[in-house]
Structure 1
Amino acid sequence: MIVTRPTENWIRLGAVDRSKAIPMMRTDSNGDQIRGRGLVIVNSLTERWGTDLDPWGKQVWGEMRVEDAA
């Protein structure tokens, strides 16, 4: 897990792997399947998400807005 703060108002959480396959959000998962729900969860918890390709693999990331603590 990679955690960064690209701006004062956003936190970015990323997961990396060596695969260059771009993930697709599945909408056909039923309750009995073990796999296929990751991006559905990321989409519901973050305001925006995406995939960055690197020479060694990829990073799937999601960003959340941070509210002012003051």
Structure 2
Amino acid sequence: MSKIKSRKLYLIRHYHAGQAIGVTVGHKCRLLPRAAATRIAQRLRRSGLDVQIAPLMVNVTPEQVAYLRRRYA
């Protein structure tokens, strides 16, 4: 049985001109570690989009944490 822990992951949100609510960027509103979210947000800002990263506390298993490390290292 896996032990579940809370971890802070991030969404990338795109804000259209004058809107207060942003649209989530990414396939199926992907949750990312901070370093990966920051890299993607910087790349989108260089292309002229107004994006921000938004933190979200989620419960993850050790297997999910290991997968995120492998994928976004």
The reply to whether TM is greater than 0.5 is: no
Bigger proportion of residues as strand:
1
Q: TM-score, normalised by structure 2?
A: 0.31
Q: TM-score, normalised by structure 1?
A: 0.31
Asked which structure has the greater RCO (Cα within 8 Å, sep 6+), the reply is 2
